[in-house]
Amino acid sequence: MTAPADPLAAHRHALADAGLLSPAGAAGLYGRTHAFERLVAGVETTMAQAAADAGATVVRFPPVIPAWVLERTGYLQSFPDLVGVVHTFRGGDDGHRRLVERLEGGEEWAEALEASGTALCSAACHPLYSWVPPKLPPGGALWDVYGWVFRSEPSPDPARMQAFRQYEVVFVGEPDGAVAHRDRWAEWALGLTRRLGLEARSQPANDPFFGRSGRLLAASQRQLGLKYEVVCPVGPEREAAVASANYHQDHFGTAFGLQDAGGDPAHSACFGLGPERLVLALLHAHGLDPARWPAPVLHHLGC
Amino acid sequence: MDELIRSVLGDHARLHVEATAVGDDQDLYSVGLTSHASVTVMLALEDAFGVEFPDSLLNRQTFSSVSRIRAALAELGVGAGPGDSPGLATGSGGR
């Protein structure tokens, strides 16, 4: 196949030709091969071990959450452009007939569906906050959360997927514990990238809050130094965050009625790593044939 | 202008104290203003005073005290009539 001139298209083709990641019919959706998933599994194992060593409790949620979680987390206010809500068919025979007519007439059939009260998971840790006990023990508690998330940002860039996984280690408890958690894991992630032979750096960051109100939120987040990202090359001339460490203050604690051991609104912090992004970074750094990667890197990933 | 600012704060800032009791220069973040609540305050101030804060004023400091809010609004031409202190009308933007 001739390599296209567009660098992102060239990158997508190279990943597909190498038998790793194939476009799955819409921008930002990909099929993952066994070769790609073996690498993802290596990242998962590394994360799981680190989280277990830290004493984190494992919990898994489906990739679909109650829509009210989006309300409670403030996600709709902050990131309306990224939200994905599940619509389902709830009609009878008449509604079914109209749906099929629209379908067969090549019309927009999704209008025949209704909001179901569920949504695609917005961040791996978002379903956690309604699940943790409302009163945290002294010193807080730590969770290992892993799952699929959705972001409505169709892009030709393989490093900006619409559906991807997040591996998170989440602390809920006292403010100082939350800050320490964020800093400890940001440092850990930087160490991990170095052990994996990646040229990464940690830098202050902000979330992509929407609109004018978002500019105020982003400025506040940066001024308070709440978020750090571990950034490295993930493709030709393309850098992206492979992990982030975030201090939420009492945002989720207040929203979900969580209290620390002293009875104050609990503070939280999450460390999140994107396995797909990290694998793309590794493929960029070490080549598209993992069999030829440096032995220490493969050993580290258990491959 | 102060009365309206404090009324907006009372309705939207979710402070731990009464907005009428907040000192002019008191740090609103120290009495419960959160980043998310500051957004609501910002939008409510825009509605109340018929202004739009430019990007240079969309930062934490702008909404950090009654006096800072007053200065930001003055910068946008609010309350430029007689009796307003000119000292408050300058110098808060973009910091």
Residue A262 pLDDT exceeds 80: yes
CB of B64 within 8 Å of a chain A CB? The answer is no
Residues of A in contact with B42 (CB under 8 A): 213, 216
Residue B4, SS3?
Answer: helix
Q: B83 to chain A, minimum CA–CA distance in Å?
A: 31
Sign, CA torsion A76/A80/A85/A90: positive
CB of B16 within 8 Å of a chain A CB? The answer is no
Contact: A223, B38; criterion CB under 8 Å: no
User: What does the domain layout of chain A look like in residue ranges?
Assistant: 7-64+122-300
Strand intervals (E) in A11-160: 21-23, 30-32, 57-59, 64-66, 85-88, 114-120, 141-150
Q: Is residue B95 part of a domain?
A: no
Contact: A251, B60; criterion CB under 8 Å: no
> What's the rounded Cα separation, in Å, for the pair A268 and A246?
9
CB A148 within 8 A of CB A91: no
A7-64+122-300 belongs to CATH 3.30.930.10: yes
Q: B58 to chain A, minimum CA–CA distance in Å?
A: 5
DSSP 8-state class, residue A171: E
Q: What is the mean pLDDT of residues A262-273?
A: 98
> What's the rounded Cα separation, in Å, for the pair A281 and A242?
8
Q: What is the pLDDT of residue B84?
A: 44
Q: What is the mean pLDDT of chain A?
A: 96
Contact: B35, A215; criterion CB under 8 Å: no
The residue assigned the tokens 């929407």 is A210
> What's the rounded Cα separation, in Å, for the pair A67 and A76?
10
Q: Is residue B46 part of a domain?
A: yes
> What's the rounded Cα separation, in Å, for the pair A277 and A166?
10
Contact: B35, A220; criterion CB under 8 Å: yes
Q: What is the mean pLDDT of residues A13-18?
A: 97
Contact: B58, A219; criterion CB under 8 Å: yes
Q: Alpha carbon of A291 to those of A37, A164, A180: distances in Å?
A: 14, 24, 38
Q: Is residue B38 part of a domain?
A: yes
DSSP 8-state class, residue A127: G
pTM of the entire structure?
A: 0.90
ipTM above threshold 0.85: no
Size of interface A-B (CB pairs under 8 A): 38
User: For residue A214, what is the nearest residue in chain B, using CA coordinates?
Assistant: B39
Contact: B34, A249; criterion CB under 8 Å: yes
Residues of B in contact with A213 (CB under 8 A): 39, 42-43
CB A16 within 8 A of CB A31: no
Q: A64: pLDDT confidence band, cut at 50, 70 and 90? A: very high
> What's the rounded Cα separation, in Å, for the pair A59 and A4?
43
Residues 6+ apart with CB under 8 A from B81: none
> What's the rounded Cα separation, in Å, for the pair A267 and A116?
31
Contact: B34, A251; criterion CB under 8 Å: yes
Contact: B55, A215; criterion CB under 8 Å: yes
Q: B92 to chain A, minimum CA–CA distance in Å?
A: 15
- Alpha helices for chain B (secondary structure H): 2-12, 35-49, 66-75
Residues of B in contact with A77 (CB under 8 A): 36, 39
pLDDT tens, B28-40?
Answer: 999 999 998 999 9
Residue range of the domain that includes B43: 2-89
Torsion of the alpha carbons at A64, A66, A67 and A72, rounded to the nearest 10? -120
Number of structural domains, chain B?
A: 1
* B residues 23-42 lying closer than 8 A (beta carbon) to A: 34-36, 38-39, 42
CB A211 within 8 A of CB A78: no
> What's the rounded Cα separation, in Å, for the pair A216 and B59?
5
Residue B89 pLDDT exceeds 50: no
CATH of residue B85: 1.10.1200.10
The residue assigned the tokens 């840790």 is A125
Count of other CB atoms within 10 angstroms of residue A227? 21
φ/ψ of A256, rounded to 5, equals -110, 10
Residues of A in contact with B43 (CB under 8 A): 213
Longest dimension (CA), chain B: 35
Q: B93: pLDDT confidence band, cut at 50, 70 and 90? A: very low
Contact: A216, B35; criterion CB under 8 Å: yes
> Amino acid identity of A191?
G
CB of B58 within 8 Å of a chain A CB? The answer is yes
User: For residue B42, what is the nearest residue in chain A, using CA coordinates?
Assistant: A213
pLDDT tens, A130-148?
Answer: 999 999 999 999 999 999 9
Task: Supply A112's token pair.
Answer: 């025949």
User: For residue B39, what is the nearest residue in chain A, using CA coordinates?
Assistant: A213
> Amino acid identity of A16?
A
